[in-house]
Every structure is written in C-alpha cells, then in structure tokens.
Structure 1
Amino acid sequence: MQETFEFVVSNPMGLHANIADQLARTASLYQSDFTLNYDGRTVNLKSVMGVISLGVPQKARLSIVVSGNDAKAGIAALTKKIQELAL
C-alpha cells in the first residue's frame, strides 16, 4: 500500500533540525518506507541528515510518500505530527 501527503511549509524557519528530528522519529515508529520529496530531490524521511540536507525554506511545497504494510497508519501519524509542529 502507498499513501501520499502534500503540504506547504508555513514555519518561518522552514524545515529546521528540530522539526526534521521529530518527523524522522515519528516515521521510524513504522516499518513502511517514508520518502520526502522537495524540488526534484528525494530523501529518506527516517534520516534526519537527509531531511536537513534538502534545506527546505518557508513556503516550499513538499510531498511525503509512505509505502508498506502500515502506510496508512504511518501517514496519519505524520500528518498529525506536522499539524502539532505547525510546520
């Protein structure tokens, strides 16, 4: 199963290290593969350094693709975390 979630970064500091860490921790709770896509580049969302390497600024459009047996639960948890972080 595959699930996709798209959003625009509203945080004035963009997707910084603290947020990257919290997203990676949330994704790591699931067995599915999590990828973050930005500006034609794709990284493993479970990798904090990979996420930081994208240098995602405010107003960037991102997509997250989750593939695996627990994709639905994973995307739901990640969507909730993004809302909690006001990303």
Structure 2
Amino acid sequence: MIEKTYTIISDEGLHARPASKLVGAVSPFSADVKMLYKEREVNLKSIMGVMSLGVSKGHTIKITADGSDEESLMAKVEELIVAEGLGKA
C-alpha cells in the first residue's frame, strides 16, 4: 500500500472539474484508491464521493492506493495534482 498527503493550494479547492479529472485518471487502474479528508474516507473512483468531501484551499488530503498497479496509479495522481495546480506534497 502507498499513501501520499497533499495540501490543496487551488483557490477553488477540489471542485467539480479537477475532481472529475482525478476520478477519470484513476478509474482505469485496478488498485483500490481512497481519499481521506477530515476523518472521512471515500473511493477516489467515485465522483459523488469526492465531491461530498467539500475539500477547500489550505486543507490536507491523504490518498492511498493498494493493488498491483498502485505505483502507476499514484504517479498519475501526483502528475495530475501538480499539472492542475491543485496541491503540493
């Protein structure tokens, strides 16, 4: 299992467009992937789950991946978070 923590730096927080991109990016992978925010954990492959967290700027999220392609999945997450200007590790 791999886990990584990010601080959200985007003024809009983790709103619909980047949340949708994250979900779309991780969905093809077979590993289980979760997002933890304020003691709530959701499946990162679920747009409704991610949006229900209401992550805002300055807050920290933890993403965990567990499965055969977890390293590739986490590399994709990191790439997307940085490219979209969403957060920093």
Smaller-chain TM-score bracket: over 0.9
Q: How does 1:14-53 map to 2 (within 5 A)?
A: 14-53=13-52
| TM-score for the superposition, normalised by structure 2 | 0.94
Find runs of 4+ consecutive structure 1 residues off by over 6 angstroms: none
Q: Distance in 2 between matches of 1:86 and 1:15?
A: 10
Q: Distance in 2 between matches of 1:42 and 1:83?
A: 22
Helix, strand or coil for the counterpart of 1:75? Answer: helix
The count of corresponding residues between Structure 1 and Structure 2 is: 86
Q: Distance in 2 between matches of 1:18 and 1:26?
A: 12
Q: Distance in 1 between matches of 2:4 and 2:28?
A: 18
Q: Distance in 2 between matches of 1:27 and 1:34?
A: 8
Q: Distance in 2 between matches of 1:23 and 1:50?
A: 12
Deviations 1:13-63 (A, max 9, x none): 100010110000011020001100000000000001100000001001000
User: What does residue 84 of structure 1 align with?
Assistant: 83
Instruction: Please list every run of 5 or more consecutive structure 2 residues that lacks an aligned counterpart in the other structure.
Output: none
